[in-house]
A and B are shown apart, each in its own frame.
Chain A
Amino acid sequence: MGNLSSVISALATLECRAESTSNPDDIAQARALILPGVGAFGEAMQRMRALNVIDALSRRVLNDKAPFLGICLGMQLIGQNSTEGGLHDGLGWIEAKIDALPADAAIRVPHIGWNEVNWSEDGPINQNVSDGSHFYFNHSYCMTSANGCVAAIADVGKPIVAAIRKDNIWGVQFHPEKSQNNGRRLLRNFLNSAQARKG
Chain B
Amino acid sequence: MLKQRIIAVLPILNGIVVQSMGFKRFLPVGKPPVAVEHLNRWGIDEIAMLDISRSASSGFALQTYVADVAPYCLVPLAAGGGIRTIDHVRDVIKSGADRVILNTAVFDNPALLSHAAERFGIQCIIAAIDARQTDGGRYEAFVDGGARATGMHPIQLAKQAEDSGAGEILLQNIDRDGAKTGYELELIEEVASAVSIPVIALGGVGVPNHFLPAAKIEGVGGLAAGNYFHYTEHTATVAKAALAAGGVRLRHDSYADYRESKINAQGRLQKLPDKKLEALLFVHYTDEVI
Contact = CB atoms under 8 A, between A and B. Distances in A.
A99 B5 CA distance: 25
B71 interface: yes
Given A14-B290, A39-B120, A112 B198 contact: yes
Contacts of B251: 114, 134
A9 B71 contact: yes
B3 interface: yes
Interface stretch (A25-33, A61-69, A162-170, A183-191): A183-191
Contact of A138 (B71, B76, B196, B288): B76
A135 to B, nearest CB: 9
Contacts of B95: 5
Given A6-B70, A38-B124, A115-B1, A181 B168 contact: no
B122 interface: yes
B163 interface: no
Contacts of A136: 75-76
Nearest to A43: B119
Interface residues of B, number: 43
Contacts, number: 129
Contacts of B74: 9-10, 13, 177-181, 183-184
B98 A113 contact: no
Nearest to B252: A134
Contacts of A5: 67, 70, 94-96
A156 B67 CA distance: 33
Interface of B: 1-5, 40, 43, 45-46, 67, 70-71, 73-77, 93-99, 118-124, 167-168, 196-198, 219, 221-222, 251, 253, 288, 290
